[in-house]
Amino acid sequence: MAGLNAIQASQMGWTEGVGKALRTLGDLLMKVEYANCDPTDETRTSPELMVMDMTTGTTILLKVAPHKGGKTDGDGYVRFPDYEQSNPMRIPPTLKEAIMLDKLAGMLGGRIATAVMREIAEAMVEANELRLSADKETYKNWIDEHAKYPDELKGMLDELRQSTIKNQKGDTLLAMQAIPHMVAMASIDEMYKIVGQYMMEEVIQ
């Protein structure tokens, strides 16, 4: 299994905004984890924690889901090492268009270049009108008739362009469960006293 099994927990009574608060806290903690980890090593841990809504009293325990095998193989959390990924260099369509027209105008020059540019512009308008029309068959035939040059260009680009290497963060996997804790280990009032005492000590320090 993978992920966090929390169907029961999601059906319990939570104060509006708890999900957003926990997600924000989780994002911050993940940044700290990534900053402190060795990106070349595999990390395996089994986190256990209790989450309590101080307003409604809803409490859940987060712990490892019993399991064997798979990528987690009994652990609650696994982070795999970072890796490099090779991606073909991509050239935006607008850049292709600008380069082709510039080279074409340079080879032709003068009035001939202007005339050819006008023909290209008119052909683009015609093709776009066909694309937006209900006559899909005519548009398909137009594309088939004029598709050989883009294919040739793509082939030449594939021969010339190199791949870019990007560093990718290692995949992270969870195999945990959220267990509803129907009776909290302490009353809500007692929990507030503990938190209040901690905050008072922080102010004094």
How many independent structural domains does the chain possess?
A: 2
Residue 93 lies in a domain: no
Q: Are residues 146 and 175 in the same domain?
A: no
* pTM to 2 decimal places: 0.55
Q: Are residues 83 and 140 in the same domain?
A: no
Per-residue pLDDT of the chain (205 residues; tens, 9 = 90+): 467 888 888 888 899 999 999 999 999 999 999 889 898 999 999 999 889 888 888 888 899 998 999 999 999 999 999 988 877 767 777 887 788 788 878 888 778 888 888 888 888 888 888 888 888 888 888 888 877 777 777 777 776 666 677 788 888 999 999 888 754 445 566 666 666 665 555 555 5
DSSP state of 39: T
Q: Are residues 146 and 107 in the same domain?
A: yes
Residue with tokens 């104060």: 15
Domain that holds residue 154: 99-161
Q: Are residues 118 and 142 in the same domain?
A: yes
Residue 94 lies in a domain: no
Q: What is the pLDDT of residue 183?
A: 46
Residue with tokens 């369509």: 93
Tell me which long-range contacts 84-90 makes (C-beta under 8 A, separation of at least 24).
84/165, 84/166, 84/167, 84/168, 85/165, 85/166, 85/167, 85/168, 86/163, 86/164, 86/165, 87/163, 87/164, 87/165, 87/166, 88/158, 88/161, 88/163, 88/164, 89/161, 89/162, 89/163, 89/164
Q: Are residues 175 and 150 in the same domain?
A: no
* Strand locations in 89-150 (E): none
Residue 12 lies in a domain: yes
Q: Are residues 133 and 67 in the same domain?
A: no
Q: What is the pLDDT of residue 25?
A: 95
Residue 92 lies in a domain: no
Return the structure tokens found at 35. Answer: 């900053």
Q: Are residues 7 and 77 in the same domain?
A: yes
Q: Are residues 77 and 124 in the same domain?
A: no
